[in-house]
Amino acid sequence: MNGAELATFLEELNGGASIGDTLALQLLNLAKAMVEQQRPWMILRDTDTSITATAATNGWQTAIDLSTIARFNRFYGDCPVKNFDGNNRTDYYRQIPLQKRLQYREAAFTFAFNEGTKQLYLNGTVNPGTLWIDHIKDSPDIDDSASWVFPSWSHTLLGFFAVGIHKGGIDYDDVNARMSDDNRATAATILARLEIWDNAKQLAAQEQHDPSRGDSDGWRPGAININS
């Protein structure tokens, strides 16, 4: 459902009482943000490859601007930054605290990140290549025409969540207060099913790297590869 359809659902769920268009979208986007921040959902994971590293211009004092990555939320993975030379070399970078940049300035394959300015700093000698940056994205805001990127069967979650906030706070009275808990409980039930859906996707992505599996698919990085 897009924002207009969710706003209609929200009003009907509210017993037909109107909720201002601006407030309805604000509540829906608040509910969306609260859901998305709960875990690293598979559907929000992405890899950016738009930034190039060069030995001449990149080093521990040179800022690489990540604000150009649309809707960047946070890094994901043990080594979320990789530097790929386009052939066979890939350098894996792990994050260190920003306040320890001086200690790590010569520590190869580490990086610091300024959350406020979205500036990335690579430590040690940097090889020319393309940065592969694994991260979690914020989905686009819901508006009258835009829909949530999550599966359509879960969209009512935002409506139940939003109307629960509305009844429990903005439009508070004894009846609405009792209804608020029911709406939040329904939202929690839908959220639990959404987590089961995401768990299955995460397990599917990991199970092929189980070291106990046979080696019929050849050599696998990070697994126990034993020749038969």
Name the percent of the chain lying above pLDDT 70. 84
Distance in angstroms (rounded) separating the CA atoms of residues 10 and 129: 49
| Calpha distance 223→37 (Å, rounded) | 31
pLDDT confidence band for 67 (50 / 70 / 90): very high
95 token code pair: 């994050």
For the chain, give every domain's residue range: 3-40+150-206, 44-137
Instruction: Quote the pTM value.
Output: 0.82
26 versus 172: the higher-pLDDT residue is: 26
Short-list 76, 67, 70, CA closest to 45:
76
Question: Which position has the higher pLDDT, 101 or 146?
Answer: 101
